[in-house]
Structure formats: C-alpha cells, structure tokens
Structure 1
Amino acid sequence: MASEPSRPGAQSGTFETQQSLSLLDVLCANQFEGKSFPPELLRETEESFYRGAPPKWLNFHISEQGGSGGARTPFIARDGYAALVEKIRHARSKLQGTSTVKLLHQPGCGGTTLAMKVLWDLRRAFRCAVLTGSTSDAAKGDHVVLQKALSAEEKLKFDAKKRELYEMYGERCHRFHGFNILQTNFSPAYVEAACSVFKPTKRADRPRKTQLAAFLSLLNAYVPGSFLPEWQCRDFFQRDADRRRGDFSLEDRMEPFSHLLVVFQRDERADGKVRMAHPLIARRCTELMAESGVTRSDTAINLLTRLCKDQSPPHVVVGFVKGMLTKRGLKPRRRNKTPGPANAADTQEDEERYARLILDIQRMESRRQSASVLKAASNLFDGDPFLPQALARFYYTELKDYNLAELWAERAKLRDPRNSFVADTLGQVHKNRLKNTAGSLGPLAVLQLASRAIEAFKDEEKLAENERGEDMRGDGDTRVSQHFNIRGQFGYLQLCNDVFHLLVEQEDTWREVLTKKVALDAALESLGDERLIRFKGLIDSLRGEIERKCAFFNKYLTYSKPKLKDDPDYISAGSSECYENFVGSYPPEDLKRTGAVLIQRLKKKKVYTSAAVLSCLESECRESDLKEITTWWEEIFRQKESINYIVSLVVRTNADAAFPSDRKRLSELKQKMPEILNDSPELHMLTLLLCWPADGEARCALDLGQLVRRMKRSFEVAYEMHLRSRRLRPLFFVGNGKGLDRMVHRKVLENLLLEQSQETKQDPWSGERMFHDPEVQARLVKVEGVVREYRLFATIGGAVVELEANNQDSLWKPRRVSFYLGFTIRGPVAFAVQTDKKESESVLRHVTGPGGKDALR
C-alpha cells in the first residue's frame, strides 16, 4: 500500500508500508488518497458494515467521499465524539508524552465505530493505529461514557440516514441489523422480530445449519468480539452425508438464518470470519433456543464436541471457548457510603464468582449442568489447568462436594505444578471444608483438616516466592506471574481464625494453648484427648507464622496499593483479627528477655514493625495511643538501637502531638542513624529524611546519592518481588519547617483536601491532582532540577542526585523543572514535575547548544 503513517507535521510523499506488526492496524495520514475502487467493492463494504460487520478504514473513506452513490450525508458520530476529541487534544497539549483516554461502552452500541471515527478524523494530527490483539488492564485516566441509548439529536440523524439508505438499497435495508438496532434505539421488538426464525427450533434432529447458528449465538452472546473462521464453518457442513462437491455458498447453506450472520475480513489477505450481526441478536437467539429445549449447556457441550476436538494446530475458537467458560466478568460493588455525589471512582467493581455462561446455566438450568459443562471442557482440554481449577471451585462453593473438589484441584496442580495461583484452590478446598462441616467435628478432626489446609497454603506460598514472571504460563490475556500471589498467606490467616473460633467455642482452654500462654502438653488433661499431642508442632508454629504473615501484610498494605483500585477491606480486617486472636492477648510463656512486657504491649497495639507504626495515621490512632507508643519505643531505643522509635516520633509530629523534649534529640538521632546496624529500606528512608538539607544548608554530611542508591538496592532485596505489580505509596514529603516538622505524611495532605471539600470523591493522587491545591503547595517545599536524556537530576546539598519521577511521561523533554519531593519505600520520588517558570523560555530556546550538543548535559 503506497501510503504514509500518520504523524504530527507529516509531509507529502509516499513509501511502501508493510503491516508487519500483526497486532497493529495502522492508519496512514494519506490513507486511500489517489486510489480508486470498483463501485461493487464500495457498495459491498458499505452494505457489510450496516449489516453488522466491524468497520473498516474504507468505510470512513467512503463516507468522506460522499458514499458509494455520491452526495451522501456524512458518517454519524455519536454524542461522545466531541467530548472524546476534546479530551484527546487536551491531553496531547500537556507536556506529557503519552496519555490515556478511555471510551467506556457496551458491545453493540457503536463504541468501536466511534473510536475509529475519531482516529480517522485525527489521522493527520497524530500517529494513529488500532491495536487488534488483546490488551492488559488500562491505566486510570480521563474517560468518556457512550450510553446504550440514543439522544433525541442522534435519533434524528439515524432516522435521516435510514431514509437515505432505503433510497440506495431498497428492501435490502431490512437486513441491515447492525444499523437498524441503533436506529430503533436498541428496540427489543425489532430484535424479537429479527430472531423469529429461531422460534420453531427443536432439540432433536437439528440440522447442521441450526447447530452452527446456535454455536455462533452462544459465542457472540458471551464472548465480545468472538467469531468462527469461515473455513471452519464450511468444514462443519462438509461433514454432512449429503455434502456437495466443490465450493458452495455459506450464505445459501445457512438459510433461513443467513440474514442474521455477517462474514467479514480484516483485509483482503485475511481469512473470512463469521459472527452474528449484533450481540443483542446473539443473546435473543440463545434465549429462544433455550426456550425451545436447546439449552445453553447442550449447545456448549455440542460446541466442544463438534468444533474443539481437533486442537492441532490450536485455532482461535479454542481460545474463545476457554474464555467463555473461565473468564469472570465484573459485577458492581456497593457504593461508597460517604455523603456526596457519586462518580466513577465510587463504584469499584468485583469479579463474579464464575464466567457469565456458567452462572446463567446455574440460574436457568441447574448447578449440576454447570459442573457438567466445566467437566466436559476439563476432560477435552487435558493440558489446561484453569478449567479443572474452575470446576474444583464450583464443586466446593456451589455443590459442597469437597471430595470431587479436592480431586479436580489436584488435577489442576498436576497440569501446572509451578503455578501458585492454581495451587491456591487446593488450600481453599480444605479451608472451606473445615469451615462448613466443623459443627460436627471435635478438636482432633478440626486439627486434622487444618493441617492439610496449612500444608497446601505453605506449598502455595513457596511457589509464589519462586515465581519471577519469566517462565510462567499465561491465563488468557494475563500472565499469572505479573502479580505476587498473596492468597496463600492470607488463606493461612483465614484458616487460623476459623481454627481459633472452632476450638475456643468447644473449650476455652484452647485460647491459652493457641496463644502459647500454656503449652499443649500441659493442657492435655483439661482438653481430654491425649491424641492431640501429635499436633504440638503445628500448634507451636502458629503464633510465629501469624506474626510473620501479619507483618508482611502491614508492609504490603502500608507501602503499596493496586494500580487501578484499592485493596479490599477484608485483607486488613482478616489479618488484624488473626493477630488479635493469637498474638495480642498474651505474651508467649517462654518470653523472658529484657523488654518483654514492652514488646507485648506494642504487639497488642499492633505497632511492632515500622510499617505498623507508619499506618497509625491511616487507622486514625488517638493522640494518647501515639504518646504511649512513642514512650514504649523510646524505652526500647535506650536498650538497643531501633528505628521504630524514630518512626513513631515522625508519626506523632504529623498527628500534631506535642513532645518538645523529643525535638531536642533530633541532632542526636542524626548522629546515631549511621551507627544502626540495619540495611532495611526503612532505615535508609529515615536517614535521608533526617539528613536531607533544609533551606539554608549548603551541604549534607552524608553522600545523598550513595544513600539513594543503597535504599534502592535494599528495596530490591526486601520488597521488589512482593510489590512488583503494585504502585508504591508516597509515605512522606519534604515540607516547610524545621526538624521533624519537615517530614509531612501523605495522610496530612489528604486531610487538607478533605477539610476543604467533602463534595469530590475523585482520587486526589490520580493525575497528581493533589498538588494543584494551594494549601498543599504551601505545606511543601518546591525543589528544582533538570531533565536530560529522559532522567531527572537535582543538586541537593552540593551533590547531584538522580531521582525517580512519579509520572515518567514528564521526562520526555529536556528542560529545567521544579517539583515536590516525596519518599516511597524505594526512595525519593519527584511529584508534579513542571517546567521551571523562571527559566522555561531560555531553556527551551537553548536546548541544543553549539554543535548540536544538549545544553543541559
């Protein structure tokens, strides 16, 4: 194709472009310019689109040229068009090199067409392409919602277009289901009339055309964007005893259903694809078949048997079918109850328990039928671990058949023995069996079941620690090793909570045994069963394991959060409850060392780690509690070096607690910091915060650049694997003031915004909105630096220090900048990087010096 990829400032000229990137459908700035097409091709392309085929770039060219018949109305742009273009232009006008603008829409309401229309109209201003393959979760960003309903203005446009199409195509317009469903405002009556050919369907002796229509309907109803290859549809017919010799028309063979189908190609070189004309038609046809006795489970199993048995080579239908049976959709989560207007940030979503097809079969047929479909697929795809995993989950959650659940969970593990996410199911089976059958179990049986669950969760935890992301198998569109798997550790805590309640309800002596106040062998007579002694090792290990896992979750939740949403509340609540049950009540009977009482007090307050102390502001600790915590840590600090005392001082400062005597010790703390034999990221962060030069200090006694590098290396050892897919939270910022007052906790900034307005529910950290607020700006110190070669540098205390930027897009252009300095557990981070106003003009004018060298180097 002689054309030029669209780009800013594109100049005229042509060159050969090969679309070697199979996942990109590139739009060129001069697409189709100077080319002519046969009228038959133009008419066929336009007709195929209005019938329901996906849009092609040629459709927009036809519209721009006045249609296949000339002098036609332009392409209809739905109401979201102007808002989408405006957001894209606004995002591109900022300094950032890349931005995300999401178009939220349901399948079949014109979202893809609208997105391609925007790209077509902007092709001369931007580089444009359509990503035709799968994508990962989109980042947070601005969004436009395309409603599944026409506005009055849209209705007028579609009505006018209908009259125009009728003049052009006559009675053939009745087959333009893709257009007509939009034009009738998604009318159920129109869909019902179009699908009426399915009403007389019978379960027995169904011809192949009816079976194929049922397959297409089921796939398109449950898997957006799915299709069947045209060759596979033809091959399906050629198995008939009365098959014709040679080629045949698929459209003729599919009568009377052919008007509900569309056959399309991505380009002239691609294979043909077949799908239903619209998702609403696919859903209604599936419903009509079910009403006639051809159930969803019948169609699913028939589809597996007829089209998926031959998997060599693997073809696209297998992927669609696996997704249809295992991909869990999203369900709305309850809204935030805080007063104020709702917006998209308020209604977070959780996953459904199972794929939508499995849930519909369960609701409309039976649980057993859902299990039978999953079982058939698990047996057919005998190398896939995720189908038996889903089947095992279904057995233990819906059918309460724990023996079969265990069987299929073991099979799933055998199919992918190194996958911790697959291994999790076996632990969940044992945990749920204990929870749901424990009413009739004595302590011995409880501990027997618990030991099996603990073994499974420990095995899962080991697998998770060994997952690095390079050699893991994929789960649909997501690589399972992208995220560190915490389910094994949290499942362990949930199980221990259940064990605690089950045993203590039967005999209160268990409370002292499980917390290690009393040894098991000393309590056997009271418990009444000598056989319990064989679980002594297990019981003795519980408290230590729980302390370790709760410390992990303290750090996990305090230092990081998911990139797209918040952590569910049950993680914090569950780990906190387990800690209280096993650790917070009593010190272990063998704890005799110095400071034992203080340590137990801190454990009872759940502030025995740096992360736990830092989280005090998040949990809104009372000032009296903070005072006690600081006093206890100070006593420990006198006996041995502990950074937690310093952390508690900083937290107290941010909570507005008065402690003048502690402030006098700041210089002493600075001197002691390098002496503390601890290579933790927490120590490095506190050292940086305490020693970071204040205004007026020319130099720092320590090498800040070296400290930053040490902190990063320390983070890589301690936390990088566990937090690899998560966003690191800023813990502190450098603020105005002296001493500890310069360390501003993130929560203090959030509270500043909260005090000013209760009306907005937007995440203040999204898009760095936090730093637009004047009060926040007044609380923090502005730092100056320079961007060169996509890296950020600042001269601090006489030393050049390289810093990370919270928004990497802000480093796309060399210039002098200013920013606010925050600290994550990995090191210092620049927030709200902006071109320095004082020198922006001169810097931008002299970005390149004599000889083309970068003047900022």
Structure 2
Amino acid sequence: MELTVELTVEEMLKKMLSSEYSPKKPKSPKMKLFSFLAMLNAYDPEAYLLMSECQQILGPPDPIHGGPPFEKRMEPFIDFINISGPSEHKCSIYQVFAKSAVNELAALGLSRSATMKEFMDSFCGDQIQPHIFRFIKILLTTRGLEEKGREKFSRLISDIQEKENFHKAVSVLKSASDKLTGIHIFPQTISRLFYIKGGIIDYQKAEEWAKEAIRRAPKNSYVADTLGQVHKNQFLREARQHDEILRKAKVAFRVFKDVEVKADEEVSPDMVDSAGTESISVTFNNRGYFGFMQVANIALEKLSKFKPNPSLNHSFIQEKKMEVEAKFAFFQWYLAYSQPDMKSLEPSYFWKDVVLCYEMYTTKKATDSITFAGLLDSLNRGLFTSKGRRALFEEHQETVSHLEGMQGFLKANYEANFDVKAAEMYILSNIILSNKMHNSPMLTPVKELQAIIHRFLDTEKRCRSPEFYLLVLLLFWSDRQPQAVQEEEDEEDEQQSTEDDLSEDTTWEDEASDDDQETREEPGQFSLDRLFDPNLQEYVTLMEQAFETTRYAKYLRGRYLLPLFFLGKGSGLRKWIHKSKLDAIVEEKVDAELSDEQEERTKEKWRRIHEMWITGDVWRIQEIQDILSPINVVPCQSPLSPQDHKMVYVLAGGKKIEAKTRVDDDSAPGPMPSYLGFTIQGPLVFRVRYPHMSGQ
C-alpha cells in the first residue's frame, strides 16, 4: 500500500511540475519558490524559509496590501508545503516529497546546481540572514557519516558531481565563495575537490584555493591542514626522483609543522578571553602530528626504492628519527587514554600509519616501547577491539612470563634510578601482572608498593602527573566493600578463590598464603596504615588539577576519556580490573551470539560490541557483575561540574570521595547500582540502567 502511495505522489509531482515548468519559458515566481524549498529540504530536512522570504520571492502584491493569500498564489504546490511557527510562519516541504521534486525538476532540465546558484543570488545580499547562511553551509559543506568515517563531500556536492559534472560542483562553491567573502569553508572545499581522487586532480588550483581559505582564517589549524593534504597527496603521487622526493617532503613537513603550531595555539571555547582574540577549537587538531607521520612514511618508502646514495637516506632518517619517536609517544598515550567520542573511534589506518612510521625510523618494535601508556595498553593486545587488531597487525595476547620479565626489568630499573617515573612504571607493572595472574610469585606486596609511592607523596605535590595520582588512588583505595554487598562477597569468596586457584594449578592453601603476603604485617614492623592514612579526596583533587595543568587537558579536550581500571571484588592489587577483562567478556558474549552468522561477521561483531558499551548493556552481563564491586554513591551538588558530567560522592572506607558521573537526563528515580572506574582525569561512576533504558 505504501508503495502505491509513493508512486501516486511521484506521479502527481511529475504531472504538476511538467505543467508548471518548461526550460523554454520564463520560470514563474511560485515555481522558483517551490524549487528553492525542494532543494533546501531534500538535503536538510530542518531547513525552512520564513513567510516574509517566501513573499519576497513571489513579489507584489503582498496579502497585506490586498493581494491574494499565500495559499492561493502557491497553487497547485500548496498541498506539498508545510506552514508552521507560532509568530512568523515558516515554510518547508517534507523531505520525501522534496527529494522527488528535485529529481523531477532535474529530469525537466532544472538542475541542482542552477537552483542552488539562483537561491544564493536571491538571498545572499549585503545582510544575509543567519539561518540562510546556516542552510547554505549545510547543503554545500556538511559531510555525512558513513561506516569508514565522514563522506568526502556534502550530499548535494556529491550529487552535482555525479548527476551533472565536476565543473558544476566547483561553480556552485565558487559562487558561494564570491558571495560570502569572509567565510573560509567554501574555498577550502574547492581545494579538496581539486586534490581528492574522483574529481579532476589539479594540485596548483588546489593549493591556490587552500591558500585563499588560509587568508580568510589565518589562525585555523583545520584550514591549514587542507594545504598540508594538498602537498601530501602531490608528494605521494608525483615525487619520483631522489632530489624531488627530498624537496617535496621538506615542503610537506613545513606545512604540517604550521598546522601543528596553529593547533597548539587554539583554545577551547570556555578559555576565550574577553577580547575574543584566540582561535577556538572544541577538540585538539591532531592532523599536524599525524600528517608529519604520514609524510615521513611516504618519504622513506620512496627513498628505499631509489638509492643513489645510501648515506643521504641515512642522514634523512637520523634527521627525523627523534621527532618520529616523540610523535609516536604522543599517539601512544593519546589513543590509550581517549577516543573521539563515546560512539566513534579513530580510523583503522590511524594507528597503523603511526606504528609503521615508528618502526621504519627506529627499527624497534612498537610493542616493545616501554612507557606508562604502552604498558597500560599491553593487556589489550590480541583482543578483537585492540588498536593493533583494528590496524590488521598480527597480534597475540601478552603472556604471564613476558609480563613477569617486564616487572623484573622495571624493578631493577627503579632500584637503580630511584626516581618517580621509574617508581610509576614499576608499580604499574605489578598492577598489570596482577590482572594477568593474580597469584604470580613475582608480584610485589601492596604494602611495599605503598611505601615506594609514599616516598614521593609530600614532595612536588603540584608537579606530579595524573598517572602518579592514579597509582596513589589505586594503591590506597579501601579494600572494605560496601555493606550492601559485603555479605554476598563473604559467601562467594571461598568458592571464587577455589575456582581461580584451580585455573592457575594452585591449591586453596597457596591462595591464602598469597593473600597473607599482601595484608599481614611482619613481626616488629608498624603498619603503613598506622603511619600514613592518606586523604584520598585530596589526591582526587590533585589528580584533576594535574590533568588540567599538564598537556592532557589541552590535547584530550572534547574527547571521550576511556576508563582504564574498574573497582572489582577482591583486595590489594586484585581489586583493580583492567578494562581489557571487560572487553574480553563482551567479545566472548558477542561471539556466542554470532556463532551461526558468518556473513559480514567482523563488521557485525564490531557493531554489537560497540553498541553494548554505548547502551550500557555491558553492566548487565552476569560475568561482568561477578567481577566488579558495586559501590555506594550519594548526590553531590557542585556548580563547577562540566555540563556533560555531574558529581556524586563515592563511599569508600567510611569516607566520601567526589567522583564524576555522566549526566543522564533520563535517570530513573531511586537508587541504581553503580560501578567505579578510573580515567586519566580521575574517578568516574557508571550507573547501571534497567533493561528499558539506554546509555551510560
């Protein structure tokens, strides 16, 4: 039945438009207005024209001067026009009708490009209305999202290229650029047309238009990146001879350095001074850093195929090696601590290009890089959701023996250097090893680790890193479970311990002995707890301050901060569950669901895993509930909370500690189960929704 209705509508439109429009006759005002509304709503369902703007197109006589009403003047189109608005009426067309109308008009000879240019001629005067500018920008420059990222161009520009030709698309954008001379995005889009595959490649014109965009927005790093992309693509496709490779690489490096500098100078909207002189960016633009790595990759690949003088190649490598290492380290923590937002990830090629560049210039394995973020990420390796697997690297899960060897190496390094960074790495290696094998004989007792970090607690408090305070909180967080779950924990403890021991080929007595190593005091020694009872709220505050004053607040702004550890059921190091354990459980559950669905399995697996985190279904998986410890929280009113978070108090060891939780406008009244996680910024509470709810 629906198909019949659609066909009837299309037939009605076709008959009506063919009777009202002919390329051989002047276009009537009502035909002109209808074509504008159809164009707007075919590509932006929220677009509209005010009634006064519609009357402007129709011309005199206006109804207020005795002319016929709008509905009469727009016959026979009026049945397709929606008029709404409490004060000044807004006119629009439902998108399904608008799309059909645009197609029918194009078939009759009224092209999309001609309609769009005529629309701009009609409304882009000296004082363009903000809503008109917004609609033009959406139609010509807003790119939709697809599975592999954003589309190359807006739907309208893509349709003009496909259904008309490349030059018509350029012409429409040139018209917008000429009429809106202070706006950078139109020349920027023209530049992209000239260098992206699928169009007519012309790097000279691409460079000219990119420079025009930069002239209009000289401080904008994203505009500067367009010029970088022009040079990178030209370098990739055209550089052949050795000298040409070096010359074009130098130019591309210089342009991406400019992107990097401008990105470093940009600030978030809430940091703009009263004069508003800063360049604003909600997120940090990483394209300068990433563009450098891509150009370095291309250069070395080209030089390796053309070797008139090996010493020159070696000199080139040595010149760029330190910067490659620095940028690899940047992306290592950047991707370990965050992702673009909760619903999206970096493209799969992103980490691949970074790793290949690092390994080519250093001849080291990226997985052997010993950094805090690298060690933190080690437990993700081999999982379906890991960066390496997404980049199509052959990757295996870390073994206990390798992690024990790493812990031994970092212990020796700490004992030899006795500095805070060495201490951080040594402590983290124990937490990571505990997640892999909680009763490894190599594990250092918690009291000893507490004593190590205690040595640094009262010195340089304002100069420590978020990583340092993360470890402080993990080591000193109370082992006492909330009273509501303590009895259940007591009942399950012996059975759970026995199951864990059987899986590790140990006995129940061995486990008891291991626990004693973490909790009992040696004869003649004072308990560290008696000497030092840390104020965890102070260290939560210091961690947040460290996040704000170090590079992280700047470079991770606007991104979703990933939970790194969760509070689990256990004591000592065992109570901290690395996120990879949850990922592994989710992956296993999705694998079971997909056992009989082989076609498009990888894509569907990704979708389902991602969806479970977005909707909060992960918290309702029994295996995850079995390892995480529910927490008690109470509301906390804080005017300083970011808009996307609200504050709560977490009850730990009889004390109230502030933690963020995601703002949830649809929160159910009454108590909800909650779990505690830690991001690089501090504690974050995850609220468990009931099955009919969604989100975090």
Where on the TM-score scale, by shorter chain, does this alignment land: which range? Answer: 0.7 to 0.9
Cα deviation for residue 374 of structure 1 reads 1.0
- 2:523 aligned residue: none
Three-state SS of the structure 2 residue aligned to 1:825 is coil
Q: Measure, in 2, the Cα distance between the counterparts of 1:486 and 1:708.
A: 28
Three-state SS of the structure 2 residue aligned to 1:507 is coil
**Are 2:134 and 1:360 equivalent residues in the alignment?**
no
- 2:36 aligned residue: 215
Greater helix content? 2
Q: Measure, in 2, the Cα distance between the counterparts of 1:542 and 1:239.
A: 69
Q: Measure, in 2, the Cα distance between the counterparts of 1:232 and 1:782.
A: 58
Match of 1:433 among 234, 246, 258: 234
Distance 1:410 1:735, change over 3 A: same
Distance 1:610 1:509, change over 3 A: farther
Distance 1:308 1:806, change over 3 A: closer
Cα deviation for residue 364 of structure 1 reads 1.3
Q: Measure, in 1, the Cα distance between the counterparts of 2:193 and 2:320.
A: 30
Q: Measure, in 2, the Cα distance between the counterparts of 1:541 and 1:463.
A: 23
Unpaired runs of 5+ residues, structure 1, are 1-154, 156-181, 334-348, 474-478, 521-535, 586-602, 836-857
Scaled by the length of structure 2, the TM-score of the pair is 0.76
Structural mapping, 1:230-245, within 5 Å: 230-238=51-59
Contact in 2 for aligned 1:434/1:446 (Cα 8 Å): yes
Contact in 1 for aligned 2:475/2:572 (Cα 8 Å): yes
**Are 2:668 and 1:668 equivalent residues in the alignment?**
no
Q: Deviations over 1:591-643 (max 9, x none)?
A: xxxxxxxxxxxx65343221111111112333154344334433432322312
Contact in 2 for aligned 1:584/1:604 (Cα 8 Å): no
The amino acid that maps onto 2:343 is L
Give the greater-gyration-radius structure (CA).
1
**Are 2:284 and 1:484 equivalent residues in the alignment?**
yes
Q: Measure, in 1, the Cα distance between the counterparts of 2:51 and 2:652.
A: 65
Contact in 1 for aligned 2:616/2:689 (Cα 8 Å): no
Cα deviation for residue 185 of structure 1 reads 5.6
- 2:127 aligned residue: 312
Distance 1:658 1:800, change over 3 A: closer
Match of 2:14 among 195, 206, 221: 195
Cα deviation for residue 372 of structure 1 reads 1.3
Distance 1:508 1:773, change over 3 A: farther
Three-state SS of the structure 1 residue aligned to 2:381 is coil
Match of 1:656 among 407, 421, 437: 437
- 1:705 aligned residue: 537
Distance 1:239 1:387, change over 3 A: farther
Cα deviation for residue 355 of structure 1 reads 0.9
Contact in 2 for aligned 1:191/1:280 (Cα 8 Å): no
Q: Measure, in 1, the Cα distance between the counterparts of 2:287 and 2:110.
A: 39
- 1:695 aligned residue: 480
Match of 1:622 among 398, 403, 420: 398
Contact in 2 for aligned 1:682/1:825 (Cα 8 Å): yes
Contact in 1 for aligned 2:325/2:358 (Cα 8 Å): yes
- 1:419 aligned residue: 220
- 1:737 aligned residue: 570
Structural mapping, 1:577-656, within 5 Å: 577-585=356-364, 604-620=366-382, 621-623=397-399, 624-640=401-417, 641=419, 642=422, 643-656=424-437
The count of residues paired between Structure 1 and Structure 2 equals 583
Q: Deviations over 1:426-480 (max 9, x none)?
A: 1111111111212xx322222222222222222222222222233889xxxxx97
Q: Measure, in 2, the Cα distance between the counterparts of 1:574 and 1:399.
A: 27
- 1:264 aligned residue: 83
Contact in 2 for aligned 1:663/1:739 (Cα 8 Å): no
Scaled by the length of structure 1, the TM-score of the pair is 0.62
- 2:105 aligned residue: 289
Cα deviation for residue 263 of structure 1 reads 5.7
The amino acid that maps onto 1:463 is K
- 2:501 aligned residue: none
The amino acid that maps onto 1:605 is T
- 2:50 aligned residue: 229
Measured on the aligned residues, the alpha-carbon RMSD in Å equals 3.4
**Are 2:466 and 1:681 equivalent residues in the alignment?**
yes
Cα deviation for residue 295 of structure 1 reads 1.9
Three-state SS of the structure 1 residue aligned to 2:686 is strand
Contact in 2 for aligned 1:472/1:481 (Cα 8 Å): no
Distance 1:560 1:185, change over 3 A: farther
Three-state SS of the structure 1 residue aligned to 2:617 is helix
**Are 2:202 and 1:401 equivalent residues in the alignment?**
yes
Q: Which runs of at least 4 in structure 1 moved beyond 4 Å after TM superposition?
A: 243-246, 248-255, 696-700, 806-813, 815-818
Match of 2:117 among 275, 288, 301: 301
Percent of aligned pairs with the same amino acid: 29
Three-state SS of the structure 2 residue aligned to 1:354 is coil
Distance 1:672 1:809, change over 3 A: farther
- 2:547 aligned residue: 715
Q: Measure, in 1, the Cα distance between the counterparts of 2:338 and 2:77.
A: 53
Three-state SS of the structure 1 residue aligned to 2:473 is helix
Three-state SS of the structure 2 residue aligned to 1:616 is helix
Cα deviation for residue 797 of structure 1 reads 4.2
Q: Measure, in 2, the Cα distance between the counterparts of 1:618 and 1:197.
A: 61
Contact in 1 for aligned 2:367/2:374 (Cα 8 Å): no
- 1:774 aligned residue: 622
Q: Measure, in 2, the Cα distance between the counterparts of 1:663 and 1:783.
A: 27
Q: Measure, in 1, the Cα distance between the counterparts of 2:668 and 2:405.
A: 48
Three-state SS of the structure 1 residue aligned to 2:153 is strand
Match of 1:273 among 90, 93, 117: 90
Q: Measure, in 1, the Cα distance between the counterparts of 2:64 and 2:478.
A: 86
Q: Deviations over 1:21-40 (max 9, x none)?
A: xxxxxxxxxxxxxxxxxxxx
Cα deviation for residue 358 of structure 1 reads 0.8
Q: Measure, in 1, the Cα distance between the counterparts of 2:636 and 2:473.
A: 24
Q: Deviations over 1:9-31 (max 9, x none)?
A: xxxxxxxxxxxxxxxxxxxxxxx
The amino acid that maps onto 1:831 is F
Cα deviation for residue 423 of structure 1 reads 1.8
Contact in 2 for aligned 1:409/1:426 (Cα 8 Å): yes
Q: Deviations over 1:636-667 (max 9, x none)?
A: 32322312232223222222387413335x43
Q: Measure, in 2, the Cα distance between the counterparts of 1:798 and 1:252.
A: 74
Contact in 1 for aligned 2:650/2:658 (Cα 8 Å): yes
Distance 1:311 1:192, change over 3 A: farther
- 1:206 aligned residue: 26
Cα deviation for residue 782 of structure 1 reads 3.5
Structural mapping, 1:557-596, within 5 Å: 557-561=335-339, 562-585=341-364
Cα deviation for residue 415 of structure 1 reads 1.4
Match of 2:67 among 247, 251, 274: 247
Distance 1:260 1:353, change over 3 A: farther
Contact in 2 for aligned 1:419/1:472 (Cα 8 Å): no
The amino acid that maps onto 1:773 is I
Q: Measure, in 1, the Cα distance between the counterparts of 2:188 and 2:374.
A: 35
The amino acid that maps onto 2:227 is L
Three-state SS of the structure 2 residue aligned to 1:399 is coil
Q: Deviations over 1:266-308 (max 9, x none)?
A: 12x31x33334x3333223322332233222222222222x13
Match of 1:752 among 563, 576, 585: 585
Q: Measure, in 2, the Cα distance between the counterparts of 1:493 and 1:215.
A: 45
Three-state SS of the structure 2 residue aligned to 1:758 is helix
Cα deviation for residue 710 of structure 1 reads 1.1
